Amino acid sequence: DTGVSQDPRHKITKRGQNVTFRCDPISEHNRLYWYRQTLGQGPEFLTYFQNEAQLEKSRLLSDRFSAERPKGSFSTLEIQRTEQGDSAMYLCASSLAFQGDTQYFGPGTRLTVL
Amino acid sequence: QKEVEQNSGPLSVPEGAIASLNCTYSDRGSQSFFWYRQYSGKSPELIMFIYSNGDKEDGRFTAQLNKASQYVSLLIRDSQPSDSATYLCAVNYDNAGKSTFGDGTTLTVKP
């Protein structure tokens, strides 16, 4: 399978705990994106990387959220001190620059904060 | 007002009919336009992208773009029950970086 993969697929945690999600993009893609989606809404942009550089971060993203892409391949998204409002589907997408930035999504990680 | 607007639906069409899904966007600098299909509980799946004014056809799907009217649509011909899903419109401002999504239109194709 050469698509975008995400791990874990589901995460249940208690309020106040830290969680980390991983995304492996399509191998030749140099751009990687994180989105968050809640029920009935479209995906909401969180941040994106080109290679290892984090080029944009949503102003809606609180300081509890951090993302890394240390070697320009896989990426991690960490949420510290989770809140119930963080419950959502966290989507990762990747693209190849100079191809119109067509983004392909992974299966997502569904986070439930109790 | 959201940057990307879609009629939430639900839109119901009979099997074999043409389904027409519409999207408007507010930023005149938008350059790339995408349609995704999303089944319940699944992630978005790319259907089509369009960059230039006019029509683009791919099988049963046709995307139409009118930048002057800031309008993009998706036509699904010969609709099948398997087309029942939420269709998301996404817009990129500068061919680089984030996509801005509408909240989707739910389509139901009745056998």
Give me the percent of chain A exceeding a pLDDT of 90. Answer: 82
Give me the percent of chain A exceeding a pLDDT of 70. Answer: 96
Is the pLDDT at A1 greater than 60? The verdict is no
Closest CA to A7 of A20, A17, A21: A21
- Collect all residues with Cβ–Cβ distance below 8 Å to B25 and sequence separation of at least 6: B3, B4, B5, B33, B70, B72, B89, B91, B100
Confidence of residue B96 (pLDDT cuts 50, 70, 90): low
CA distance A58 to chain B (A): 10
Judged by phi (left if over 0) then psi (alpha if -120 to 50, else beta), residue A84 lies in alpha
Cα Rg of chain B (Å, integer):
13
Q: Could you give the CA distance from residue A102 to residue A107 in angstroms, rounded to a whole number? A: 17
For A107, the closest of B43, B98, B102 (CB atoms) is B43
Residues of B in contact with A55 (CB under 8 A): 97
Comparison of pLDDT for A107 and A2, the residue scoring more: A107
In the A/B pair of chains, how many CB contacts fall below 8 A?
60
Is the pLDDT at B111 greater than 80? The verdict is yes
Bridge partners of residue B48, in order along the sequence? B35
The tally of CA atoms less than 13 A away on the side-chain side of residue A9 is: 7
Q: Could you give the CA distance from residue B63 to residue A4 in angstroms, rounded to a whole number? A: 25
Is the pLDDT at A103 greater than 70? The verdict is yes
Q: Over range A79-104, report the average pLDDT.
A: 90
Q: Name the residue with tokens 């995906």.
A: A43
pLDDT, mean over chain B: 93
Give the pLDDT of residue B95: 59
Q: Could you give the CA distance from residue A92 to residue B95 in angstroms, rounded to a whole number? A: 18
| Lowest mean pLDDT segment, chosen from A64-78, B12-26, B93-107 | B93-107
- Collect all residues with Cβ–Cβ distance below 8 Å to A13 and sequence separation of at least 6: A19, A82, A111, A112, A113, A114
Q: Which two tokens stand for residue A99?
A: 């191809």
| Lowest mean pLDDT segment, chosen from A87-91, B69-73, B95-99 | B95-99
Q: Is A55–B95 a contact, with Cβ atoms under 8 angstroms apart?
A: no
Give kind and range of the element (H or E) at residue B71: strand B71-76
Q: Is A101–B95 a contact, with Cβ atoms under 8 angstroms apart?
A: yes
For A42, the closest of B95, B98, B104 (CB atoms) is B104
Confidence of residue A15 (pLDDT cuts 50, 70, 90): very high
| Lowest mean pLDDT segment, chosen from A99-113, B59-73, B77-91 | A99-113
Contact B19, B79 (CB under 8 A): yes
Residues of B in contact with A106 (CB under 8 A): 43
Confidence of residue B1 (pLDDT cuts 50, 70, 90): low
Residues of chain A that touch chain B, judged by Cβ-Cβ distance less than 8 Å: 33, 35, 40-45, 48, 55-56, 58, 89, 91, 97, 100-108
Give me the percent of chain B exceeding a pLDDT of 70. Answer: 96
Is the pLDDT at B9 greater than 90? The verdict is no
